[in-house]
Amino acid sequence: MARLYKFHGGLHLDGHKAESLGQGLRSASLPEQLVLPLRQHIGEYNKPLVEVGNRVLKGDVIAANSSLICAAVHAPTSGTVSAIGNYPVAHPSGQRDCCIVIDVDGEDEAASADIVDPNELDSEALIQRICRAGIVGLGGAAFPTSPKLSRGKTHTVDTLIINGVECEPYITCDDILMRNYAAEVIRGSDYLQRILAPRTTLIAIEDNKPEAIAAMQAALAQQPLANTEIIAIPTIYPSGGEKQLIQILTGKEVPHGQLAFDIGLLCQNVGTCVAITRALEQDQPLISRVVTCTGDNVSQPGNWEVRFGTPVSHLIEQAGGYKNADEAFLVMGGPMMGFALHSDQLPIVKASNCIMVMREQTIPHAPGYHDECIRCSKCTEVCPAQLLPQQLYWHARAKAWDRTQEFKLFDCIECGCCSAVCPSQIPLVQYYRAAKSEIRSAHKAQFKSDRARARFEFREKRLLLKKQVDEERRRLKREALKQKQAKSGAAADGEPDPVQAALERVRERKKAIQEETR
């Protein structure tokens, strides 16, 4: 058994997981209409590949982009495209985004699959098929999987980590997935090993998931993988974070400004492994995921396999509906890192791991009234990133963006530990999120300004160069003409200019005509 290490800070939290594990995994029915945002991942926007009125089949690509950091969107079922436009999406700001709306026909007719034996494909071909399937990390970040694997392949990956740690309260989608699809997780891990050729593979699961651990051990025993070990780690939040999990399993810390594969490590979620298995063995794109619907204000908490684009309201209906709709507060994600939803008419997307239906507001929409900081330093004690949350709070509140970056604001993983222990109930994470958003917006505006200035300066240089070239061309033409005239004069050996001679003849003829008329 591998030696386990500890990370700084963290919290022991009440799990609230039993409520959603009693019913097993179920499939959610199809709604009448699906709303699919064009961007359900970190990276560039997709472009629609369909038009209003087109009929699509399950698995058809409906939006894509040739950019490297991008993940295509596929039709989750068959139907007709009824609209393409801006609709509300799941986002902390409550913003709208470009979406494709599909009217479901109920036939669930699938497009023809191009099934090949993945054992006959090399690593590049495997990555291409993963890319074509639109797979992203299903642990929450939704970073496209294929560019991550491509970059990991160019580095030497010493250790592959399969993340089955689900440390945030209420969320049980990975737990139920490992219980039901353990064999697919193992086969997905095998494909990742073929692509990355790691020396060691570690499958990490929290020790409060004995059923999932047993299912995974049985699947690994049935299909052994070389140098692969299932490790039960202590239950402490946020051990599921990539950097924290790496520190627990290897004792290594990812340096500031670097990524995991810079130090020979790569992490993938268990849900991503299942998606990879389905993509490579069945040519099935990522069109659904397991979503936990739980909380003290929903009648039948549980886990469902849900097609993307399904309204949150439809999933809540599958869970028996609200206990009290007038007192319903919705959160996408968990109580620590999730964000509040302003409506239940928002679509489930690739990053939707949990819908919490609560009686009381769990996550503030934005920083508002709260008590003043008493400088107790509890936030510093629990910060797993070893930051100074109190200093970050003061500088974020003062909008001193340069100072927040001096205190490594972007190393904050927004785990919410600082907010959870704050006796003044300051929503610290909301301040950090707002600060990051402001800084990113400023950087984006600066980038656009710099690019516009560069284009203007390039144009001015181009016009100046063109003017200089034209002037030089005219000067050379004048000199060439002078040289030609000089050569013509020298060749005539002193004879009069033929042009002048012709003019003289014309004048003499006119003079002769005038004399005759007299």
| Pair (99, 231) in one structural domain | yes
Domains identified in the chain, total number? 3
pLDDT at site 331: 94
Which H/E stretch holds residue 213?
A: helix 210-222
* Closest listed residue to residue 290, CA positions, set 340, 337, 348: 348
> Where is the domain boundary, 246, 274, 294?
294
In a domain, 85, yes or no: yes
User: What is the four-CA torsion angle of 106, 111, 117, 119, rounded to 10 degrees?
Assistant: -80
Amino acid found at 17: K
Give 251's DSSP letter: -
Secondary structure E strands in 270-412: 288-294, 302-307, 329-332, 339-341, 354-358
Same structural domain, 353 and 395: no
pLDDT at 369: 72
Helix (H, G, I), strand (E, B) or coil at 506: helix
| 233 and 349 together in one domain | no
Inside any domain, residue 364? no
| Successive 10-residue mean pLDDT values, the chain, 518 residues | 85 93 94 95 91 96 91 96 94 86 95 91 95 92 91 89 94 97 97 95 95 97 95 94 94 88 92 96 96 96 97 96 91 91 94 94 71 92 94 94 93 92 92 90 90 94 94 89 75 62 82 78
Peptide bond into 238 cis (omega under 30): yes
- 277, two tokens: 């298995």
Q: Taking the CA atoms of 118, 120, 123 and 127 in sequence, report the sign of the dihedral they define.
A: negative
Q: Classify residue 247: in a domain, yes or no.
A: yes
Reading the block at residue 443, the tokens are 């950087």
Beta bridge partners of 330: 341, 357
What confidence score (pLDDT) does residue 483 get?
83
Those residues with Cβ within 8 angstroms of residue 399's Cβ, 6 or more apart along the chain or in another chain: 435, 438
**Cβ neighbours of residue 364 closer than 8 Å, sequence gap 6 or more:** 340, 427, 430
The bridge status of strand 354-358 relative to strand 288-294 is: parallel
Q: Which helix (H) or strand (E) holds 474?
A: helix 428-491
Specify which residues 200 forms β-bridges with: 159
Cα–Cα distance for residue pair 485/503, rounded to 1 Å: 18
What single-letter amino acid sits at 269? N
pLDDT (0 to 100) of residue 497: 66
Residue 118 lies in a domain: no
Q: Is residue 7 part of a domain?
A: no
| 412 and 478 belong to one structural domain | yes
Structure token pair of residue 392:
């970050």
Let me know whether 225 and 99 are in one domain: yes
| 48 & 98 share domain | yes
> Within this chain, do residues 264 and 385 fall inside the same structural domain, yes or no?
no
CATH number at residue 465: 1.10.1060
The verdict on residue 5 lying in a domain is no
User: Residues 328, 383: one domain?
Assistant: no
479 lies in some domain: yes
Same domain as 341, residue 262? no
User: Domain holding 217: CATH number?
Assistant: 3.40.50.11540
Same-domain check for residues 310 and 398:
no
Residue 69 lies in a domain: yes
Full domain range(s) for residue 330:
306-358
Contact between 99 and 37 under an 8 Å Cβ cutoff? The reply is: yes
Regarding whether 287 and 419 lie in a shared domain, the answer is no
DSSP reduced 3-state for 335 = coil
Shared domain for 289 and 226, answered yes or no, is yes
